[in-house]
Structure 1
């Protein structure tokens, strides 16, 4: 962005202040100007305002490959010898959490916040057939549960990440806000039309436990962003097909916008890691091996299309238009197409992440090919 020189009078005043301090024995070394002093950023609303990526200049843009910052010192600020340790940060290697567009994803998250109270046209909801309403409530119950997991897991890694990698850390904070809003809106949907919460899905808690026990950030991101949230995003993108009013359409559209950022975060992190630390690709492939076993089996607690679950039955009713045998059969066929779409979109994410060789060298689960070609 364009910069504007600082007026000469400010420089003169600063020099006078420093001279006065020296004469009187004051320590004013903390007042010494940094490399960016003397110029200011010129931002306009038309250009998107002042963004994080605009202010990273000079030493403030230097991101260490490894960080020894345990004091909470903002990246680029000057160290203080007597600063106390305030964190026991385990994420101190850049490749373990970094991605190239974290600032942009964070800024997008901030600018696209929405409110379930006023941005969803609840007044468009009308009484639905009993089986449809029960299915809506069951799916909303499942999604409330899933979004709790998606908001709970990243919190652990926020406190584990050094301030030198503040961009991905801030994005994760924005993700938690997004997931809280999703919990909020799906819980409201369960009650808004005269229904309520239905059955808990046991596998959601088990899946959340598996993600939460990830040994490092990359494993967590592969399981949460690439797999779990990717599967849910595919469902949200089908929202128009299984909505019965404008309120439900708005819910799925807004939630999909948020979810796509979370998935992009995971894809771009794996892409950065595979490019900068290729020796870890085998480790990532091992995570994907486990993920794909769940995909082809139609299992995985974060997947609403998981076979043999209340959420999958609810999807079949909503997609087919009822619970009578003919409607259920039609709905189950559409639900199968949803699972096929989930697999195809998963394959595309893995390819963008730079790990697509698994689909060419036979590493990927063989059953995936049937889904991809369908």
Structure 2
């Protein structure tokens, strides 16, 4: 029985009727009572629309109350509804979009569309045009933890950096070196923003943790673009130079169509190498602003690298032959960039000068040695990450040597 009191069907009363019918099987009866003057008319129309039948109604004020509602009056209307089977047929063919608890499904059905994981999905909805719907091609077990860490670690460029801090007494040429490095970082971070955004747009939402993680990664890169841009012009000058070879190197990342190879080239090799670069700049920064923006960016980039390594290793374990695909991606990129100039000479010079601190011969020797040591650390880090993915040590060393001279 459903007692609506004076609630009209057009005021939410239909929810009480539906709730009562949900507990019944097709053919069973529900008695509805209420004092709303249009209840009988509204229920008759509602039943026709939803595939139920009105078996009996006492719609007039002269009838006696039929329900056992305390305080019922002769103005009450009583309607008996026979539940139809239309609602049951609606959900025939429905399936669960995986399990709400536990790991995501190995394959995400395009017919699930935007349904929440674990939801009962009615048949007939529009399929989602996601390019990547296989778990092994996008997943890493660490993704949920990395997303939680990323969500907790977002920082505000306006408050995390003291933009009023003095730039210090560094020589003008060192300041120009910082400006050049910031210009170079902006260029690379813009590519690093586009790639996760593109991957995100083609990912099946069933793998929501990866989608969320990529969204935070794009947000990270947007912040990096902002802070590096602000630092580049903080002293009032113009940004530095942008080389054709550097842009060509980044374009090969944008052109990579596969989810895993794009994540591998960007995060495992490129951003992994950039971690060492950012730490170098922070270590040799001539002012607090430069140290802070590179330190904060490095903290974010470490998460991006962690996901790239974990995901690539996950797929390599699931499909050992995929290591060959990754090798081909490195070799293909190396061949495409063979005739380019590599790292912008102004960027290399800026790194040396940053490490030196001045133009004296002895300082330049020191800066040169520091940059050579940086390149060795970059190579060591790439080999270590490649080995973690599953490459033998000798192959890891060979592939690291093929990585672009442009760092990213």
* TM-score, normalization by structure 1: 0.77
Is 1:262 paired with 2:304?
Answer: yes
Instruction: Look at both structures and tell me which one has the larger radius of gyration over its CA atoms.
Output: 2
Structure having the larger proportion of residues in strand: 2
- Report SS of the residue matched to 1:238: helix
8 Å Cα contact 1:226/1:267 also seen in 2: yes
Is 1:311 paired with 2:347?
Answer: yes
Deviation at 1:193, TM superposition (A): 2.5
Is 1:102 paired with 2:143?
Answer: yes
Higher relative contact order (CA 8 A, sep 6+): 1
Tell me the alpha carbon deviations over residues 212-238 of structure 1, each in whole angstroms, 9 at most, x when there is no partner.
111311110111011111111111122
Aligned match of 1:329: 365
Is 1:247 paired with 2:289?
Answer: yes
Is 1:350 paired with 2:386?
Answer: yes
1:59-208 matches, within 5 Å, as 59-70=100-111, 71-85=113-127, 87-127=128-168, 128-208=170-250
Of residues 64-73 and 273-282 in structure 1, the stretch that sits farther from structure 2 once superposed is: 64-73
CA distance, structure 1, for counterparts of residue 218 and residue 349 of structure 2: 29
* TM-score, normalization by structure 2: 0.71
- Report SS of the residue matched to 1:61: coil
CA distance, structure 2, for counterparts of residue 116 and residue 137 of structure 1: 18
Is 1:234 paired with 2:234?
Answer: no
Of residues 261-270 and 164-173 in structure 1, the stretch that sits farther from structure 2 once superposed is: 164-173
User: Tell me, which stretches of 5 or more residues in structure 2 are unaligned?
Assistant: 1-17, 31-80, 92-97, 402-408
CA distance, structure 2, for counterparts of residue 204 and residue 104 of structure 1: 34
8 Å Cα contact 1:227/1:291 also seen in 2: no
Deviation at 1:125, TM superposition (A): 2.2
8 Å Cα contact 2:193/2:218 also seen in 1: yes
Q: Could you say if the C-alpha distance between residues 76 and 132 of structure 1 is closer, same or farther in structure 2, counting changes exceeding 3 Å?
A: same
Deviation at 1:58, TM superposition (A): 5.2
Aligned match of 1:5: none
Aligned match of 2:263: 221
Structure having the larger proportion of residues in helix: 1
